[in-house]
Structure 1
Amino acid sequence: MKLPHGLSNSKIRTAAHWGVYEVSKSGNGDLFLAGAAEDPDPSPIGLHMASDDLKQVRIAKPSIRRSWLERGPGSNPHLRGREPFVEVEWDLALDLLAAEFKRIREKFGNEAIFGGSYGWASAGRFHHAQSQVHRFLNLIGGYVSHVDSYSLAAGKVILPHVIEGFSNLFNQHTSWDVMAKETELFVTFGGVPVKNAQISQGGPGRHRVVAGMRDMAQAGTRFVNISPVSDNMPVDSEWLSIRPNTDVALMLALAYVLETERLADLEFLATHCVGYQRFRSYLLGQTDGVPKTPAWASAICGVPMERIAVLAREMASSRTMLNVSWSLQRAVHGEQPFWMLVTLAAMLGQIGLPGGGFGLGYGAVNSVGNDNARFKFGDVPQGRNPVSTFIPVARIADMLLNPGESFTYNGKVYSYPDIRLIYWAGGNPFHHHQDLNRLLKAWEKPETIVVNEPYWTPTAKLADVLLPVTTPLERNDIAASTGEDFIVAMKKVEDPFGQSRNDFDIFDDLGRRMDIDFSEGLNEEGWLRRIYDISRENAAAKAINLPDFDEFWNAGLLDLGPEAAPVIMLESFRASPDENPVPTPSGRIEIFSETINGFSLVDCLGHPAWFEPPEWLGACDRDATTLHLISDQPPRRLHSQLDASPHSKAGKIAGREPIHIHPTDAAARGIADGDLVEVFNARGRLISAAVISDAIRPGVARLSTGAWFDMDFDSGIERHGNPNAVTMDIGASSLSQGCSAQTCLVEIRKLSARPSMLVRAFDTPQFEVSAP
């Protein structure tokens, strides 16, 4: 294994979800971060991890909500987020917590404990909060878990029925170098948003998306961006402005042209797919009386029917890569765009060919399309969860509000448990969940909410027991991610803030009070060595030779880039579907799924289909003043992480997250650039600031997620511009129960006077001195 040229042991590196950074110190001890020299396009987000602004929102000591401390668990849950905290010593906090776990388990059982902890807490493999808390909860007898993710729930559930699990597809996407040589036409539904591609779960090594697409453009690839916005592409492209939530109708019309003009690859459909004829009957209108013609689709999606027909012909006559943004499946009926994209690619017959086929999220994260060496990296073993009860990840509020109520998921019926204790570590549900007013009500149901967190996030302020934890700069770890080039020694560069501790040490200390062996006799270094040695064995099985731990740790970085090879997704399946079947019941791509058809769901048929959303611009009963709200990922942070940093704050207007609207919609409402506006519907109200832009379709507004939720409890207005104050909290369908954030209509009006409510998102809570 070769180390990168120019490395020296004097370089100190760390890693975050935004990339690898080099750390230096000034004479007075201040930290300075710079993008890694090996990264051609480093993200600026992580440069601010050591900023004073973030230190001002750090949690210094264990803190307990006053009522919970003085009156016991379950006291005044409606005062969460409204009453003061009491700072206590670690021993008292952990003693009380151990006693509370004992009470809950003895009285209600482990099925009363929810270990949500959904989030991107750290790029490190060891100090990964979600892994740590799940390991702890498993060791004490288990917990109610969640499945899938907010990002991809609908897609993850549908894909195994259609072609293959998302994780397997994710790791074999056709690489950028292959597309630069072979792809003639790149058609993307939802763009290729480079702002999203700043990140990767274990930290990007080399940011490649911009360079990859520019190489394609330079080689002659033509790009078509089908999206409600035009500024989500890093290269010149044709923009087909589409109504949100209508992409499936457009895809069906493209398929209709391929079928009726005899452009579909019938041989590929016959040899590599099943169920096309049943889908064809729906496509031609034989089953429902509605042929899916370009004229039909145009009336739904707003794209001219002539352009739809021509695009279908261009796709059939070119080496075409189809791509879909993850955002499309974060909507009601979100399964359909992924299923229909695979179907459309199958009709073109280019799946498995160099530069052709489909992609599920080029631009979603940096690693999609990378061609580096891949092997399983070690991590913290979480053990077995003795509790089988689970929920789909986006159904938290449903679970808390409706214990005992049944729900469907992937063809089976389950029921919601009665949760009494929530333990959250490494996440912020008051960022990523929808309809936060509803979640606030649900949050009052448990008797105890425990949060491990470095910062005074909204979720931290709504906890009963709050335990301060370190940041990646304050501990040693190893960063590595499938699809990324680098393995990074994340070296501790500053002391922990206040009394904060590593999650590992917190659970080890708490575990001793509960007679469990959490650490297995290993300290931080011992675990890092174990994780690395497991990784080294896994790499050797793939003929990749990693140096021993000490050599790696001294060097600080290993580069897997030299081990890279071009990747063509599903190449072996195309070459021989009998010898290399996909893991569906038939071993083929299932355009019609007998399994899903057998579920008898009214909102997810046995084939991809167009369903009218409950809220969209084409609704017959829609008020003409409503706009469709897109809540996309922010350019200046990952989700809500580091929202208090100078980089994130610099993107705000009057301290609030901006909302983008078209000049026509702004003029109709008397809104000028920079005006404060109220965004509202029956679910909630929020204050934002207007940005007037012709890069967005008329009738559409865009407000990025991640502004720390800042509710004024007296007025019921969210003050900071968090779109989830108004988004819809229903399942994408009865199949996946995924989140439906992108299905949302709102009204917007200019505030006639500047609001008296100041943004309090980054204020620390009140404290009182008290005794239990």
Structure 2
Amino acid sequence: MAQSTRKGSIMSKQTRELLTSTHWGTYRVEVKDGKVTALRGFEEDPDPSAIGPGIVDVLDGPTRITAPMVRKGWLEGGPGAAGDRRGADDFVEITWDEANRIVANELDRVRKTHGNRAIYAGSYGWASAGRFHHAQSQLKRFLNCIGGFTGSKNTYSFAAAEVVVPHILGDFRTYIDTTTSWASIASDCELFVAFGGVPLKNGQISQGGTGAHVQRGGLLAAHEAGVRFVNISPLRSDILDRVGADWLAIRPSTDVALMLALAHVLLNEGLHDPDFLDRFTVGFDRFAAYLRGGTDGQAKTPEWAAEICGIPAGTIAKLARDMAASRTMISTAWALTRQDHGEQPFWAAIALAAMLGQIGLPGTGIGFGYSAMNNTGLNRRQINYASFPQGRNPVPDFIPVARVTEMLENPGGRFEYDGKTYEYPDIRLVWWAGGNPFHHHQDLNRMRRAWARPETIIANEWCWNALAQHADIVLPCTTPLERSDIALTPKDPYQVVMDQAILPVGQARDDHGIFRGVAAEMGVEDMFTEGKSAGEWQRWLWDVSRQQAAEQGVELPGWDRLQRDGWIRVPAPAAPTIMLEAFRTDPTANPLATPSGKIEIYSETIAGFGYDDCPGHPAWMEPAEWLGRADPGQLHMISNQPRNKLHSQLDHGSVSRADRPKGVEPVMMHPADAAARKLTGGQIVRLHNTRGACLAELRLSDAIRPGVIQIATGAWLDPQGDLCRRGNPNMLTLDKGTSKLAQGPIAHSCLVMVEACAEA
């Protein structure tokens, strides 16, 4: 099948500098002799991310997949052959015609023999900022054309919050998108209490494209306006040093205990707001009884919490009083959900904010993850742009996204989720397009064993990462620089033309072309394409988006002008965004979508589920692994987001490689912990527990709490037995659901040992 873009169309239309947009920023693209030579920061961006230029040297390098490939054992033995050889087998190059026929025949075999529920669409997104070349949408539309698939719900980012917060506030995603703006904080906040900090490294990223980075500017503007910051994190670096934040070096996975003690002080000293609680919430009396110890015999005093979280009781009491005496914003990092009982931190934080009575007021209340992404606290219009239609999936089966290993291990097994019981389907074929489970999933050794079970695994990939190496059929896809698209997202005011800068490398095809080829083989090409080319679909997306924007009073330019200018910026609303302002102003006219229409500090619905790991109100429950139950020598491992890549994307690129001159991911440790283990900075160490191990380069700092180590996620898996030689911490993390309610991941509840690497 011919490529959708030919050489002449790349070179002929450009009367301006080439542009591209990514999840970590917009860039000007420099091309010479048909090769990308540089990416330069967008002129509208005051704080461009360094991540983007990391792609330049790997676009056409040894890691690039340039032709369709099939694992040798699968090709010779057929579906289900030598699944335990995934990740070790050689690959055989085939033609696109052969690939289309092989994939089509395998899909037909599986759906006719086992039904469409035996097909798992594992795409997790993040593949491209482009609105059209969104791999997940392309995959799901294609599979819906042939009868559907088993899918997943929620995200690894904040699954626990996605399920529990709608029971408390009636929704969650809405409040992610309407978090009180930095401008409102600068003008109206006095005290900003950041559970998990305000990590600017995370704020480099935003789904669907980023025009101008605002997190650093927003944070500094608030600081310069006199806002006092409190950073509650095991890492001092979770907030910019320049703002002079008070650092409360909390034990990991104990934020709820601290929040409950703060709430106890407010209640015990009469510093809470009973009028707000009466008018805007339900269930506070049940929560208050728990705080006082009426339900379990333990009052949640600062002295009680100090023993758990490692922060002095006097410091806790003073912070509670300061919060009550100030215009206070409580920010909860998304990472707080990625721990055992990860539903509880957001629920407890909402209850604490409700007790202060400042929810819905300018600059105060509750916020979900400032600088978790660039769009958090960004004052912008919420426009309902068009997206590539996926169609209807007739298969009802799904799993919580982080339960993929259990699904593969236990077909027909039962699992609890949000008040109901479901069954794991018997998955025979996995198709992954966008995302990398060998990065974001936990306990990778366990997952690799389960990964051997499906009969066929297909991956759309552009480089030989662990996903491609562990697939049976690898279909080479293009990068955004090799295709045209639009960065068209309601999460950012900049809408950007993504120019095709170079021809596809080798035989790579964009995802739409890949699925179109298989669709033609299966007789559903017309259903999949609706007779439109990729370019026509992009113009359709823009035209429909223009109509929908006009209905909201926003005029977007025509297609030709957009292509001529390359980008537009939708003006921000005049008034700053204030989360839950309408509800605060008139709760009768603007009720929440909860059973009561109010904030549910106690949820009768959740209580009715009868879960022993998620009661009807915020509660402290011991994590499966934490320092309070550590064996001698164990340290708590925090595996947070990297600063030099997006998850595992571009880990092989120049920017990421520059941060690991010894070829392994760095791990931060307090000097006292290193001295106790006779370790020195720069040494290669082995992190290990009963689940697995990884290597890392030791870096010493007093900016981390003793007893804790920090290693970023994103290192490409490079297994040798149960060890990752490159430094992937998910070889060690625990694969367990947050609770029966949400079944989210708990990567941050993890104990490990650290020792010198004998082989280094």
Q: What's the TM-score once normalised by structure 1's chain length?
A: 0.95
Structure 2 Cα separation of the partners of residues 52 and 108 of structure 1: 40
Instruction: Give the Å deviation of 1:672.
Output: 0.7
Higher alpha-carbon deviation: 49-58 or 97-106 = 49-58
Q: Distance in 1 between matches of 2:114 and 2:635?
A: 46
| CA deviation vs aligned residue, 1:386-416 (integer Å, no higher than 9, x gap) | 0000000000000000011100000000010
Q: 2:74: which partner in 1?
A: 68
In 1, Cα distance between equivalents of 2:372 and 2:170: 19
1:582 aligns with 592
Cα drift, residue 119 of structure 1: 3.1
Shift of 1:54: 6.2
1:79-478 superposed matches below 5 A = 79-234=85-240, 235-478=243-486
SS at match of 1:51: helix
The answer (yes or no) to whether the contact 2:191–2:229 under 8 Å persists in 1 is yes
- SS of the counterpart of 1:394? helix
Shift of 1:206: 1.1
- Tell me, yes or no, if the aligned pair for 1:173 and 1:569 is still in contact at 8 Å: yes
Partner of residue 620, structure 2 = 610
Q: State how 1:684-695 maps to structure 2 within 5 Å.
A: 684-695=692-703
Q: Give the distance between the partners of 1:220 and 1:422, measured in 2 at CA.
A: 53
Number of the residue aligned with 2:736? 730
Give the CA deviation at 1:563.
4.8
2:9 aligned partner: none
Secondary structure of residue in 2 paired with 1:22: strand
1:749 aligns with 2:759: no
Out of 490, 500, 508, the residue aligned to residue 492 of structure 1 is 500
Tell me what 1:540 maps to.
Answer: 550
**What's the CA shift for 1:376?**
1.3
Mapped partners of 1:119, 1:709: distance in 2: 19
Query: Counterpart of 2:602?
Result: 592
1:53–1:645 CA contact under 8 A, matched in 2: no
Tell me what 1:757 maps to.
none
Other-structure match for 2:3? none
Q: CA deviation at 1:432?
A: 0.3
CA deviation after TM superposition for structure 1 residue 564, in Å? 5.4
Counterpart-to-counterpart distance in 2, 1:81 and 1:753? 23
Moved more, 595-604 or 47-56: 47-56
Query: Contact 1:133/1:425 (CA < 8 Å) preserved in 2?
Result: yes
CA-to-partner distance for each residue in 1:132-182, whole Å, 9 max, x for gaps? 001111111000000000001001000000013221101211111111011
Check if 1:50 corresponds to 2:56.
Answer: yes
Measure, in 2, the Cα distance between the counterparts of 1:230 and 1:54: 39
AA partner of residue 737 (structure 1):
Q
Q: What is the identity, as a one-letter code, of the residue corresponding to 1:136?
A: F
Contact kept? 1:124, 1:202, Cα under 8 Å? yes
| Structure-1 residue corresponding to 2:10 | none
Matches for 1:709-728 after TM superposition, within 5 Å = 709-713=717-721, 716-728=722-734
Aligned to 1:561: 571
Q: Which amino acid aligns with 2:508?
A: S
- Per the TM alignment, residue 572 of structure 1 is displaced from its structure 2 partner at its CA by 0.9
C-alpha contact 2:23 2:208 (8 A) present in aligned 1: yes
Question: Alignment partner of 1:151: what SS?
Answer: coil
| Larger mean Cα displacement after TM superposition, 400-409 or 70-79 | 70-79
SS state of the match for residue 508, structure 1? helix
SS in 1 for 2:43: coil
Whichever residue aligns with residue 89 of structure 1, its letter is T
Kept after mapping to 2: 8 A contact 1:373/1:564: no
Superposed CA offset, 1:24-82 (max 9, x none): 22367443210100000000101222224763211010000011112211111111111
Distance in structure 1 (CA, Å) of the matches to 2:35 and 2:684? 41
Kindly provide the amino acid, as one letter, of the partner of residue 593 in structure 2.
P
The answer to whether the 8 A contact 2:34-2:503 is kept is: no
The one-character-per-residue Cα deviations of 1:733-768 (angstroms, maximum 9, x if unpaired) are 0100000100100000012341xxxxxxxxxxxxxx
Distance in 1 (alpha carbons) for counterparts of 2:108 and 2:31: 46
2:628 is paired with a residue of what secondary structure? coil
- In structure 2, distance between residues paired with 1:562 and 1:721: 42
- 8 Å CA contact 2:54–2:656 kept in 1: the answer is no
CA distance in 2, matches of 1:52, 1:709: 18
1:663 corresponding residue in structure 2:
671
Contact 2:125 2:134 in 1 (8 A): no
Could you tell me whether the CA contact under 8 Å between 1:9 and 1:555 is conserved in 2?
no
Q: Is the Cα contact below 8 Å between 1:54 and 1:644 reproduced in 2?
A: no
Query: Secondary structure of 2:378's match?
Result: coil
Matched with 2:680 is 672
Q: Which amino acid aligns with 2:700?
A: I
Residue type of the alignment partner of 2:591: P
- Aligned to 2:602, the other structure's residue is in SS state coil
Q: Which amino acid aligns with 1:330?
A: R
Does residue 522 of the first structure (1) align with residue 532 of the second (2)? yes
Q: Percent identity?
A: 51
Distance 2:59 2:462 in 1: 13
Shift of 1:221: 0.3
- Deviation per CA, 1:242-262, whole angstroms, max 9, x where unpaired? 000000000000000000100
**For each residue in 1:172-196, what CA deviation from the matched residue of structure 2 results, as whole angstroms up to 9, or x when unmatched?**
1111111101110000000000000
Q: What amino acid does structure 2 have at the position aligned with 1:344?
A: L
- Which residues of structure 2 form unaligned runs of 5+? 1-13
For the Cα contact (< 8 Å) 2:684–2:695, is it kept in 1?
yes
In structure 1, distance between residues paired with 2:163 and 2:573: 32
Whether the 8 Å contact between 2:594 and 2:600 is mirrored in structure 1 is yes
Q: Distance in 2 between matches of 1:446 and 1:144?
A: 14
Give 1:380 deviation, angstroms. 0.8
Instruction: Classify 1:29/1:410 alpha carbon distance in 2 versus 1 (closer, same or farther; 3 Å).
Output: closer
CA-to-partner distance for each residue in 1:252-305, whole Å, 9 max, x for gaps?
A: 000000001000000000000000001100010011100000000000000000
User: What secondary structure is seen at the aligned counterpart in 1 of 2:329?
Assistant: strand
* Residues paired across the two proteins, number: 743
Counterpart amino acid of residue 528 in structure 1: Q
The residue identity in structure 2 corresponding to 1:19 is G
Q: d(CA) in 2 for partners of 1:119 and 1:521?
A: 25
Any idea what SS the aligned residue of 2:745 has? coil
Distance (Å, rounded) in 1 between the aligned partners of 2:60 and 2:180: 39
Q: 1:172·1:568 contact (CA, 8 Å) conserved in 2?
A: yes
Give 5+ residue unaligned stretches, structure 1. 1-7, 755-772
Kept in 2, the 8 Å contact 1:223–1:236? The answer is yes
